[in-house]
Amino acid sequence: MNDEVHEFNIESNWKTNNYNYFKRPPSQYSFRPSNTAHSFIRTAVDKEDLKAAETGIHPKITDFPWENLEHDQWSRRLGRLTRYEGNYLGFDHVFSTRITFGEREDDNSKVEYVQNIFMTDYDNEWKIIDISPLMEYKE
């Protein structure tokens, strides 16, 4: 057996940035899929610009369920909650943003309906892959 010792010197030249609540990442590095969901709804529903909204759809999606946007609850939006879904529709690392609809009552809100928007990263951007039908909320 050979007792020679070989050493390799590797110099790393990595630039790292740490972000937190007080030091936010630049806007082009948005890590918040809920911003994408909000922007998509604002464009498709509030501005009624489906052509512009299409730019937010993942290019592999050929049959997007646009009909799921057609309901009369949009003016009753209460909030949104984003969570990690994992695998969905054959895509990995999917997140969903659940939009809640209902009535605002002083300090309380009564949720009546929910709808989910599903998205994943594509070319360093969040792209939408699906939107669920409007569903009645059950606790």
Whole-angstrom distance, CA of residue 107 vs CA of residue 104: 8
Whole-angstrom distance, CA of residue 66 vs CA of residue 61: 12
CB 19 within 8 A of CB 25: yes
pLDDT values of the chain reduced to their tens digit, one per residue, 139 residues: 678 888 888 887 878 777 665 666 666 655 678 888 999 999 999 999 999 999 999 999 999 999 999 999 999 988 899 899 999 999 999 999 999 999 887 777 788 999 999 999 898 789 999 999 999 998 7
Domain parsing of the chain, residue ranges: 30-65+75-136
Cα angle for residues 49, 54, 58 (degrees, 5° grid): 160
pLDDT per residue over 75-104, tens digit each? 998 889 989 999 999 999 999 999 999 988
CATH architecture for the domain at 30-65+75-136: Roll (3.10)
- Nearest of 64, 57, 60, 7 to residue 37 by alpha carbon: 57
pTM, to two decimals: 0.76
